[in-house]
Amino acid sequence: MKKIFFTTLFLASYLLANNEISTNYTYKDYENSKTKTKGKTFDYRFLHNFENSQIVINYEDSLTKRENELTKLKMTSLEVEKLSMKYLYYINDDLSFKTSFINIEDNLAPTDNGKVYGFGMIKSIDNSNQIKIDTYLSDYDDFNVNQYDLTVVKKFKLDNINLEAQLGSKYININGQNYGNYVLKDNYFLSYFFNINANYNGFILGLGFIDGDRLFAIQDEGLKVEHHALEQNKTYLISLGKRFKNMDLISRYIYSNANELPENRDNVNSRFMSLGIKYKF
């Protein structure tokens, strides 16, 4: 998977113009988890605009260390690779459609070899308002997941500050009950999210939160998936960055509270700290 991504990235970067290449490093810290202690994730992303289309390819490589809670003996680390793609087609200035796909490789979870398919629509009401509708199907060996997203986008300006706010909901329906040896008790989840981003002379500030339960949720417009049986309850995010002519620097801090379902462990806290760079050419 890694070789396919980087070969594609090299050829596309060499042959094509109007591209973006980005990489992001995330340090992960877990509190009150049954086995997880800390970890790291590398994301490599390629974006290309052409004619009325845009394509995005993302490769994610993640390692999470584990240990026995009582003896503190090291356990097999969790190793995950994901390859995701998104294609966006602009019908006109007011309407566009998108499709997305994710492939999951996991050395421990029952969701190994899972596939996620997405389809969505973006409708511009005017220059300041948009509506996004997305639907996703996650296909795993023992169950599948349907997710439906509705997002309202508002762009506005305060003096010299450009702002964009998003308010939306995620409805998740799980078809099936078996996650390995664990039997899923709930099949329906509903969560709400809000985020706002501000840009002042190239300086970027972002704030966001997700409230409500979610399980096996799709994020980042179909490029990310939470494929473990970790029932998320609340998530908070803050980001800071600087935008230059051809390059962006961005840092993020994400705090989440969740329940590890197979381990029967509540109130698991995770803290993700990331640093990313994006180059346009």
Pull the structure tokens for residue 69: 């809670």
Is the pLDDT at 195 greater than 60? The verdict is yes
Judge contact between 254 and 87, C-beta under 8 A: no
pLDDT digits (tens, 9 = 90+) for 199-225: 999 999 999 999 999 999 999 999 999
Per-residue CA distances from 217 to 51, 108, 140, 147 (Å)? 32, 19, 13, 7
Looking at every residue in the chain, the average pLDDT score rounds to 94
Looking at residue 80, its pLDDT comes to: 98
CA separation for the pair 156, 212 (Å, rounded) = 27
135 pLDDT higher than 70: yes
Q: Confidence band (pLDDT; 50, 70, 90) for 104?
A: very high
Instruction: Note the pLDDT of residue 18.
Output: 76
User: To the nearest 10°, the Cα dihedral for 81, 10, 204, 223?
Assistant: -30
Q: Is the pLDDT of residue 4 over 90?
A: no
Angle value at C-alpha 29, between 24 and 33, nearest 5 degrees: 135
